[in-house]
Amino acid sequence: MSKQINVALIGNPNTGKTSVFNALTGLNQKVANYPGITVDKKEGLCKLPRGVKAHILDLPGTYSLNASSLDENIVIELLLNKNNKDYPDVAIIVSDVENLKRNLLVFTQIKDLEIPTILVINMADRMVSNGISLDVDYLEKALNTKIALVSARKNTGIDHLKTLIANYRDLSTEPCLNASEIDKSYFERLQNAFPNQQLYKLWLVITQDVNFGKISRQEMDVAAFKTKSKSDLKRLQQKETVKRYQFINSVLKEGQTIDASKATGLRARLDRITMHKFWGYAIFFVILLSIFQAIYDWSGMPMDYIDASFAQLSEWTKATLPPGVFTDLLADGVIAGVGGVVIFIPQIAFLFLFISILEESGYMSRVVFLMDRIMRRFGLNGKSVIPLISGTACAIPAIMATRNIESWKERLITILVTPFITCSARLPVYLIIISLVIPEGRFLGLSYQALTLMFLYLIGFGMAIISAATLNRILRFRSKSFFVVEMPSFKVPLVKNVFITVFEKTKSFVFEAGKIILAISVIIWVLASNGPGDAFNKADTIIETDHANLSQLEIDQKVAAYKLEHSYIGIIGKTIEPIIRPLGYDWKIGIGLVTSFAAREVFVGTLATIYSVGADSPETLKQKMASEKRENGLPVFTLASGISLLLFYAFAMQCMSTLAVVKRETNSWKWPIIQLIGMTLIAYFISLIAFQIIQ
């Protein structure tokens, strides 16, 4: 049986690399991190002809092998290190038929590394509408490669691509051109100094400021080869790029024909509207409003069904299984805790659906361009928008995405303010609190609840901008950067890509959050079901003595409440209650605040567990929270306490995983500690002011 083939998927951003990856792997894919590096590593399996399997690695987008960001370094490190387990047997360079000239630069560089290489020309279905024709036979001969014309949208060319991958040993490893001609004497000296190494590999190791693992010490020691200054090397890199484009131009002059008269002007007309300095922002605002309204309108029914189902499941468990510790743990700990997360699957899935559609359609790049105008005024640039927008899914990958920001100051500011952006982990907290304290009326057809949710997203973004402006004045770093954004063509989102994105991200959210919530729910149940001293152990006697005139049902309810208050978890809540009481919170909410530092969404699971301990009624979590009373008989969740709680979670750093990533990305505990203290203080005082004004 032949070994599994390693395939590296490489290309410029927005060439449809993800579409090709999805077409090859389907749902046989996973997302992890590169070892020791907080950057997404997307990989999957593909079945090839004759029963061969390919391990497909989707590398970060790169314009060339002259790295200018940490993401691009990953591509170079892999291609230069044959000891890496993911080192490719074959490289697939994905290009866009409308931007072939620019996309071929990285192709010619990888060919110089003598790696078997396939050129995929994607979006072939757009050739006719854009007046493009290709002489594939000529291009294959001129580029020393095999070409797959692919349309991921129409699923054409994928089988041919799989055949080429399976037959990768037949591919030419000859370079397209002789790049050493830019300075023959220098490259001759370099080759003579290291006769057993590939010449272009030596050149990349000398010119790139990256970590090549073992190769820089065991295979080659180029540190001693200092015959040129950094500025001279930079000029040579520029000469290399010019030479490569001269070669690419000569090839495309013969192999590509473009009839401009056939190209439609639809993209230009749409760009004039979507990037207009007034209508562009208005359109984006309307899109946001529509998204949040749809999240509420479309997910209401499935959420109610899930909530009721888990309440009934918990009651059925108590009624069916024999009474005891295990039954209580299962019904009040596990089922209640997991149900507190599963209920939000519809809304989270819809959020990912809309974000995926915006990205697939090409509209998100226009948003990035629009926001650059705003960002510049606050010490950021347009590239900061990408982390801020992706922060709506999760702050962790959003902070990782700052690696393509060249300026350290702008990157640091973006890292520090990104957690203000409302992530999907906050969504469960927002949704349950909004449903409790915000009425269900409508204004101009938009529900108050949807408007509240959008307001929370906007104030998170607003606080990120204000904080960025403040940090820009405080931090005394000198830096300069330029903003370049790829502007892809508008296209109808590919259903398969959207489905895979929604499925993978929702699954990741549920399982990652589910593991944390399940563990914490069990711990909370144990702490809530046990306590020290007579106050907990003799609760029955104490309540029966003080309330002899009550019915047995009322006595049981008071015993359960008394035990919970004097349990270990109750003691923790009572200890911190004086600090949070001015915000309108009781000790049970305080427990939720403490546990949600593990992950924000744990807050809902914590309350689901706390309110389930000792409860015998099959009420949903929302019903239990709505009926919760203070000692004076007033509801715990009022408009004042609800708004205060929403604002606290909008601004607080309630996520230890995010802190860990900030530490990794800044290589210091200084910045995450400043971030934690600063965000907590902002959240506390804004929540305090809001509660005191509203109550």
My answer on whether 535 and 664 are in the same domain is yes
My answer on whether 656 and 555 are in the same domain is yes
Provide the 8-state DSSP code for 262: G
Last residue of one domain, picked from the residues 205, 232, 264: 264
Residue 34's pLDDT band (boundaries 50, 70, 90)?
very low
Number of structural domains found in the chain: 3
Task: Determine the pLDDT at residue 37.
Answer: 38
Specify the range with the lowest mean pLDDT, choosing from 191-195, 318-322, 477-481. Answer: 477-481
Q: Is the pLDDT of residue 25 over 70?
A: yes
My answer on whether 380 and 519 are in the same domain is no
Residue 512's pLDDT band (boundaries 50, 70, 90)?
low
Q: Which domain holds residue 569?
A: 515-694
Note whether residue 652 is domain-resident.
Answer: yes
Cα Rg, the chain, nearest whole Å: 29
CATH number, domain of 14, equals: 3.40.50.300
Q: Compute the half-sphere exposure of residue 307: CA atoms within 13 Å on the CB side of its CA.
A: 19
Note whether residue 481 is domain-resident.
Answer: no
Task: Determine the pLDDT at residue 484.
Answer: 56
My answer on whether 7 and 94 are in the same domain is yes
My answer on whether 434 and 532 are in the same domain is no
My answer on whether 373 and 346 are in the same domain is yes
Q: Are the C-beta atoms of residues 358 and 385 closer than 8 Å to each other?
A: no
Note whether residue 496 is domain-resident.
Answer: no
Last residue of one domain, picked from the residues 226, 241, 264: 264
In this structure, which long-range contacts are made by residues 510-517, counting pairs with CB atoms below 8 Å and at least 24 apart in sequence? 510/341, 510/342, 510/345, 513/341, 513/425, 513/599, 513/601, 513/602, 514/338, 514/341, 516/598, 516/599, 516/602, 517/337, 517/338, 517/340, 517/341, 517/599, 517/601, 517/602, 517/605
Interval 41-69: pLDDT, tens: 688 888 888 788 899 998 888 888 887 66
Interval 610-669: pLDDT, tens: 776 555 555 666 777 777 788 777 888 899 999 999 999 999 987 777 787 788 778 888
My answer on whether 436 and 571 are in the same domain is no
My answer on whether 24 and 59 are in the same domain is yes
Note whether residue 502 is domain-resident.
Answer: no
Last residue of one domain, picked from the residues 264, 287, 315: 264
My answer on whether 552 and 679 are in the same domain is yes
CA-to-CA distance for 220 and 121, rounded, in angstroms? Answer: 36
Q: Is the pLDDT of residue 600 over 80?
A: no
Note whether residue 438 is domain-resident.
Answer: yes
Joined tokens for residue 604: 């809902």
Note whether residue 269 is domain-resident.
Answer: no
- Region class of 43: left (phi > 0), else alpha (psi between -120 and 50), else beta: beta
Joined tokens for residue 471: 């940090």
My answer on whether 188 and 285 are in the same domain is no
Note whether residue 559 is domain-resident.
Answer: yes
Interval 418-455: pLDDT, tens: 889 888 778 778 888 898 888 888 877 778 888 888 89
My answer on whether 291 and 336 are in the same domain is yes
My answer on whether 222 and 173 are in the same domain is yes
Note whether residue 495 is domain-resident.
Answer: no
CA-to-CA distance for 526 and 535, rounded, in angstroms? Answer: 17
